[in-house]
Structure 1
């Protein structure tokens, strides 16, 4: 599932709207993921997973930075996220399913904070982009 030029434009436009507070959206997405899918907390036993904690905010910024990197290198997402893919597959051994869960929660957090930003075509583009990011992050598992 490749990204079309329209998809890339939509993704860049959405990121342009949210990048100034993307860390907050990342933290909200993680909090939503933990609430909806409590088993995902198992990978975070070393941090405070309470909503709004400093640890969640810090990890939200990391998630946002990775997404920003992918947006900035939208034509080479695999290259941009190569080290992160290695980390999650080889060291952290995160269940690949979790990337899809987080991707969905990111889209929900964007929609909740920016009503109207994710129109139908933009949502499809963002969903394709987040799916591509998830595929890249799980590519080292094979």
Structure 2
């Protein structure tokens, strides 16, 4: 499975809109993940999950932990989007980290992919058209496949 030229353009168009909102968007996606799928909290026991604990920060509401990690996730996705022809190479170190060190349940990537799409759709309703959503869903599936490729 690979992305067509129009799908690549759709992914890049949404990634281009994220801009300086990476912490806030990532924090919101993680918060939705943790609230909707409480079993995922296992991986974030060291995080301050207190709502609003980072109020007034540049990256938006939510705990500093959620803003920081959420920003890393969204930045990693943006980096991957800028390397669509070599996702495996671009995400290799993250794949190693998640498979060998963190041992994240591979099913969580699909759950997080879903919450990321909900957040993007809510923040960019005019831009996150059905065509863009389909392309971004395919992109996230490809990213998830790379991240889980080293699980044995």
Does the TM-score normalized on the shorter chain lie above 0.5? yes
**Where does structure 1 differ by over 2 angstroms across 4 or more consecutive aligned residues?**
none
Given that residues 41 and 49 in structure 1 are in contact (C-alpha distance below 8 angstroms), is that contact kept between their aligned partners in structure 2?
A: no
Question: 1:58 matched to which residue of 2?
Answer: 68
Question: 2:38 matched to which residue of 1?
Answer: 38
Give the counterpart of 1:114 among 84, 108, 124: 124
> What is the deviation of 1:69?
1.1
> What is the deviation of 1:20?
2.4
Cα displacement string for residues 25-63 of structure 1 (whole angstroms, at most 9, x for unaligned residues): 111100000010000010111111234111000001110
- Any gaps of 5 or more consecutive residues in structure 2? 52-61
* Correspondence list, 1:16-95, <5 A: 16-51=16-51, 52-95=62-105
Structure 1 CA distance for aligned equivalents of residues 128 and 21 of structure 2: 17
Structure 1 CA distance for aligned equivalents of residues 49 and 88 of structure 2: 29
Cα displacement string for residues 79-114 of structure 1 (whole angstroms, at most 9, x for unaligned residues): 111000000000000000000000110000001111
The structure having more radius of gyration, on CA atoms, is 2
Is 1:10 matched with 2:44?
no
Aligned residues: 142
Structure 1 CA distance for aligned equivalents of residues 125 and 132 of structure 2: 12
Task: Look up the SS of the partner of 2:11 in the other structure.
Answer: helix
Structure 2 CA distance for aligned equivalents of residues 47 and 123 of structure 1: 30
CA-atom RMSD, angstroms?
1.0
Task: Look up the SS of the partner of 1:83 in the other structure.
Answer: helix
Q: TM-score, normalised by structure 1?
A: 0.96
- Any gaps of 5 or more consecutive residues in structure 1? none
Q: TM-score, normalised by structure 2?
A: 0.90
Structure 1 CA distance for aligned equivalents of residues 76 and 100 of structure 2: 18
The structure with the greater share of residues assigned to helix is 1
Structure 1 CA distance for aligned equivalents of residues 50 and 11 of structure 2: 30
Cα displacement string for residues 116-138 of structure 1 (whole angstroms, at most 9, x for unaligned residues): 21111111000000111111111
